[in-house]
A and B are shown apart, each in its own frame.
Chain A
Amino acid sequence: MPPEARFDTPAWHGPGARSRRRQAFRWSALVWSLVFPPRQHRIAPTVSGLFLIALALGIGTAAYNTASNILFLTLALLLACLLLSGLLSWFNFMGVRWRVRAQAPWRAGHEALVTVETVNGKKWLPTYGLWFDLETRTANRVGPDDDQVSVREALAAVDKATTRVRLFLRERMEPAGGESRLEWVVRPSQRGVERVELTSVGSFFPFGFLGKNLGANVCQQVLVWPAQVEYQCWLGTVAAGRAQGERVPRAGAGDDLMALRRYRTSDSHRLIHWKASARLQKLMVRQFSAEAHESFWLKLETSAAVWTRPGQFELLCSLAATMAEDLFAAGKLRGVKVNAQPSVTIRQVRDVEAFLDELARLEPVDDGGRTPPSAISDSGVAPLPSRNIITFAPEGACGVAAYVDGVKTAAA
């Protein structure tokens, strides 16, 4: 998922989501949809509904056996109530639209918010008692991929990687645009691509006889960044014994105001110059001169031959992500490089986020044990310097260590 797509507004779904070209109403289509419901549309009787059907059958049998018109009348009334139930249920869903917002990015171990926004587009009638079945599933982590895994184990792995919840609309949704927001707090356990899906929308409305389910199939993919880890760092000690780093002109948090410039996405809101923004009718931010400081490159090599243990590899991702954020916060992150990909200079927050996105998807690469070239330059990006490069290597059975030019500087 590109970072730009992170704040895209999701589309509306449901009966009230108007397509550009509205389909003409046809009775035949309506009748056919009643006979053969659309895919994933289900109407199932509840326990009380089954009881009502059994009651209707009993009264009908008695009516035929006795030719009593009173029983026929009661039977007709029961059937009419069942039809009314279906009609009201149809009214309840009519004109309702919904969308799912999963505010990306997520972070493993941190709480994230999934929001279901619902709007009642009916003109006169409110909507009651909807429920929304949501689930999240790690898309790229189904389970062990070797052939020895049985189907049951695979299903169990899928089930374990899936979190389900049913959100209920407790309040009445007013007609003519009444809105409702249902929130679900999720805590993803591991990094990766998380699939947030609204599987169905249902209701027992109005009498609890029938449970009507509309298959929603609203899906959104969210990247889960690696979890933050505790690590020991000796970077200051290492840097103090070295020559001073290069001076780079960049927008940073230095003391000296360099200029004002237009706001760009991912700029900190603290840097907005409100007076200038008000005067010029556009958002302006303060640009400070960069200071001379030590800057480092993070270099990740994820050879499957080196990172043989999955847990250790996860720790690598977490350590790299945490160090990247910490170094960026300290203004000491110059750039990153992942395997054979081009090195990327880090200038803004969005660059760090792109790196975290990359870490979310990162997998061990099978390079046959060859070590990739240490510095590959690419057009438009800075070449990897010969010093101040942080590399990572397994440490012990489950630890990971970071090295700066061969000197151990951090460990987790």
Chain B
Amino acid sequence: MSTESKRPQLSLDELRLLKWLLGGALALVSLWTVFFLDVEALSLVSLASLAVVAVLIWPQLPARVPGFVRWLSVPALIAVLVGDFYLSPETLPPLIRLAILLVLYRGVGYRQRREDLQLIVLGLFLIVVAGVLTVALGFAFLLLLFTACALVFLFVVTLIETKETGGGTADSLPATGAPAWTRLGWRRFFGRLAEVADWRLLAFAGSLFAVVVVLSGVLFLIIPRFEIATGFFLDRYITKKSRTGFTETIRFGDVAELISDETTALRVDFSDPAARPGNPYWRLVVLDEYSREGFKISAAAKAELLRSQRVTAYLRGRRTGSRAAGVGGQWTFYVEPGVSRFLPLPGNFEMLRLRELLPLQSSVSRLVVALRTEPMTMTAYRLEGVQLAGEIADVPPARPPTGRAAAAGRSETSALPQSLQLPAGADNREALQRVVAEIRGGEDGATGLPAEEFARRACAWLSRRHAYALSVTLPSGDKDDIVRWVESNQPGFCEYFAAAFTVLARAAGYPARVVAGFHGGTWNAVGNYYQIKNSDAHAWSEIHTGRGTWLRVDPTPGGGLADSRAAVQTAMARQGDRSWSARLDSLRIMWYRRVVSFDQRTQTEMAEQLKSLTADSGQAVRAFLDRMMARLRAWLAGPWNWARAGRVAGGTVLAGAFVWLIWRGREEIRWRWSRLCQRGRVDPVRREAGRWLARIGHRIVPAERQAVHAGIVTDLQRLRYGPRSSWPEPGAVFRRARREGGAGRCTATGR
């Protein structure tokens, strides 16, 4: 077989080395997706990555592994799998660890076609599992990277197979020693790659991959969706610990630990960006039971949550208070995995919709909504009819507990008993009463001091007495921590302020509770959404007003933030963040909006939008045509005279003549256009010289003209092939050639 090739091509061994490189890249990409997962395999992934990189750089390494190790590797893998399943309480992590080991096994050994395909499938498994469990934006990038690598990899595999089948030497795995292609050397190989690379083909491949991405997006949109989901299955086989500390029990310091965590906790997307709140509080969990270590959810609240649990995709809320506090539009929340099983809520709401059926718990008396377990993936839900008032309705539980009397005093609600619980011990209570008396200033709170006024005075007292700081040094003593802190002048952070206010309010006879969640956030002006980070974690209090509502009270000076930071954040919230990090983060919200939250309803809405857009476009075109026709009719109906008729006739004739000329000369125009397009590729002088050479170069001339003819031909050849510096004057040469051509014709015709 012979092939005329113009450009160099990679040899079979070079293709095999390229395949080795791409296979290693595939293995690395698939291994790195495990970093998204919390499956206690990071060390294994690191080791596997190091091994793959090592054999990638030194392809001869696998040949140095003794043969018995290869033989023993499969039984060892099986033993590891069995042991891992036996020791691990969950199902999915052992499977992922097995996949990592298999990728490692295939990534560090010499492969043939079957093993290449196995490597792709294993890598795809890891990527899909990581994507499904995390729903992270990074998954999309890694999936695209993996797809690009896999396509090029398969392309190279096909080329190698063709060459081997067509007569090349098959890449049979050697019994001993490394294959020949491993000795090529990377420097030489990359030099060859640069030599054979063709930018046009690379651009074409890039364009094709872009087409694949666009096409997959279109397919994603048009694949019909049916609501047959019953909840995802993979997340049942894996659990994850909460990172934020927003669990049933929050000890002092848990929230403060999050202040240094700058990762995003949730994003809130508004259907009407104008309705965004200026200083929002995102409630997660209500802590109404006091203990020495801090506040926690009371047993009654837990029982209410458990009683209310059901698998549902929506939850009806209640709107209370004034209509003026209502905010229109829909709020879509995207809560990152690991934040909490409690869903952040800005206030009362009419409807909460989930993306899919999930086991949901709710406490209407505390306005808390929670999932049964902490989700492994991003959780998306939508709120409708949000009410942003600082007061929350005090609603009795759906099934009030029996055997519990109503709280003493002003409370008629069953949630209040826990909200009056004080630190145990007489010394604690005495200390608190002393402080309460100081706050009241002699007034009787039970009769004359409203809750709002008490809250204002208590906050002012706490602000005067304690500064804000993230480090707390408690004085020693036998009393509870919070009582000692109240009595001291030590600075504190939001949990101490909220807890102190709560116990003081309770000591004064006002039901109160601690609420943990987030405060504020950054308005991303690029994507038009709120971005709330873990550093926005906050704790505040709610005091019962005695009028069937709970009033939010934030006793922390500056809203829980240092003053300068609070100022920056307020400005950010008002003007919006347009930094590069905000632009990058807006990609994530786009991912959530367009991909993760895409469902049958969105698909239907999109189809309806497309339909209405088409209809509107058609109507617009029709209206435009109608307007044009009306103008034409009006113009025709205008008064006609000879001058106007002449102008119209002249214009018509000119237009007709123009069209006729274009029509007659269309071939000429096409030809000239093609010449114009080709101009510049070959020098016109060289092209003209070549034309004359073809015409007179091989002509047989009489002996008396041979010298002249040879001179002209030499000059033409110099113009055609010689360097520009050696050119004679082209015009003179072409004139001589033209004369010579005419003389030749005369000679040929015998004249």
Contacts and interface: CB of A to CB of B under 8 A. Distances in A.
A154 to B, nearest CB: 32
Interface in B217-249: 217, 219-220, 223, 225-233
Interface string A149-174: 00000000000000000011111111
Contacts of B212: 77, 80-81, 84
B93 interface: no
Contacts of A205: 158, 162
B6 interface: yes
Nearest to B150: A81
B2 interface: yes
Interface string A64-98: 11111111111111011101100110000000000
A72 B208 contact: no
A114 to B, nearest CB: 12
A182 B1 CA distance: 5
A405 interface: no
A174 B147 contact: no
B6 A88 contact: no
Contacts of A81: 147, 151, 212
A129 B117 contact: no
Given A65-B229, A84-B208, A129-B158, A170 B151 contact: no
Interface in B594-652: 595-599
Interface in A301-348: none
A73 B216 contact: yes
B605 to A, nearest CB: 15
A277 interface: no
A207 B157 CA distance: 8
Contacts of B356: 67
Interface in B298-338: none
A168 B1 CA distance: 9
A55 B123 CA distance: 13
Interface string B125-145: 000100110010001100100
Given A81-B151, A81-B212, A125-B204, A72 B220 contact: yes
Contacts of A80: 212-213, 215-216, 219
A147 B35 CA distance: 76
A270 B746 CA distance: 38
A70 B128 contact: yes
Contacts of A199: none
Given A80-B215, A168-B165, A207-B154, A70 B131 contact: yes
Contacts of A125: 201, 204
Contact of B219 (A65, A76, A181, A206): A76
Given A66-B233, A70-B131, A72-B220, A178 B159 contact: no
Contacts of B5: 171-172, 174, 178
A204 B158 contact: yes
Contacts of A36: none
Contact of B158 (A59, A65, A208): A208
A173 B128 CA distance: 38
B128 A179 contact: no
A124 interface: yes
A126 interface: yes
Interface string B325-356: 00000000000000000000000000000011
A367 interface: no
A125 B208 CA distance: 13
B132 A181 contact: no
B359 to A, nearest CB: 16
A74 B128 contact: yes
Interface string A99-128: 000000000000000000000000011101
Nearest to B167: A170
B227 A71 contact: no
Contacts of A206: 154-155, 158
Interface in A169-214: 169-174, 178-183, 204-209
Nearest to B6: A174
A169 B200 CA distance: 23
A232 interface: no
Contacts of A208: 154, 157-158, 161
**In the complex, which of the residues A76, A126, A129, A179 has the most CB atoms of chain B within 10 Å of its own CB atom?**
A76
Contact of B9 (A66, A172, A182): A172
A126 B216 CA distance: 26
A256 B355 CA distance: 105
A341 B147 CA distance: 72
Contacts of A66: 132, 229, 231-233
Given A168-B162, A170-B163, A174-B7, A88 B121 contact: no
B121 A70 contact: no
Contacts of B117: 48, 51
B168 interface: yes
Contacts of B226: 64
Contacts of A73: 131, 140, 143, 216, 220, 595
B4 interface: yes
A64 B123 CA distance: 22
Contacts, number: 162
Contact residue range for chain B?
35 or more
Contacts of A64: 226, 228
**In the complex, which of the residues B5, B121, B217 has the most CB atoms of chain A within 10 Å of its own CB atom?**
B5
B599 A67 contact: yes
Contacts of B215: 80, 83-84
Given A65-B229, A124-B200, A180-B4, A170 B162 contact: yes
B708 interface: no
B3 A181 contact: yes
Nearest to A206: B155
B166 interface: yes
Contacts of A209: 154
Contacts of A59: 128
B155 A207 contact: yes
B121 A55 contact: yes
A181 B1 CA distance: 6
A67 B229 contact: yes
A179 B4 contact: yes
Contacts of B2: 180-181, 183
Interface string B362-400: 000000000000000000000000000000000000000
Nearest to B165: A168
B147 to A, nearest CB: 6
A82 to B, nearest CB: 10
Interface in A231-290: 281
A80 B167 CA distance: 33
B155 to A, nearest CB: 5
A180 B162 contact: no
A168 B211 CA distance: 30
Nearest to B599: A67
A80 B9 CA distance: 29
A88 B154 CA distance: 13
A200 to B, nearest CB: 16
A68 B232 contact: yes
**In the complex, which of the residues A71, A74, A209 has the most CB atoms of chain B within 10 Å of its own CB atom?**
A74
A88 B225 CA distance: 30
Contacts of B599: 67, 69
**In the complex, which of the residues A48, A87, A179 has the most CB atoms of chain B within 10 Å of its own CB atom?**
A48
Given A70-B128, A128-B162, A180-B4, 9 more contacts: A70-B139, A74-B128, A81-B151, A124-B204, A174-B5, A174-B6, A181-B1, A181-B3, A207-B158
Interface of B: 1-7, 9, 113, 117, 121, 124, 128, 131-132, 135, 139-140, 143, 147, 151, 154-155, 157-159, 161-163, 165-168, 200-201, 204, 208, 211-213, 215-217, 219-220, 223, 225-233, 355-356, 595-599, 700
29 contacts: A48-B113, A48-B117, A51-B117, A55-B124, A64-B226, A66-B132, A67-B228, A71-B128, A80-B216, A81-B147, A84-B208, A84-B212, A87-B208, A88-B208, A129-B158, A129-B159, A131-B162, A168-B166, A169-B166, A170-B168, A172-B9, A174-B4, A181-B2, A181-B3, A182-B1, A207-B154, A207-B155, A208-B157, A208-B158
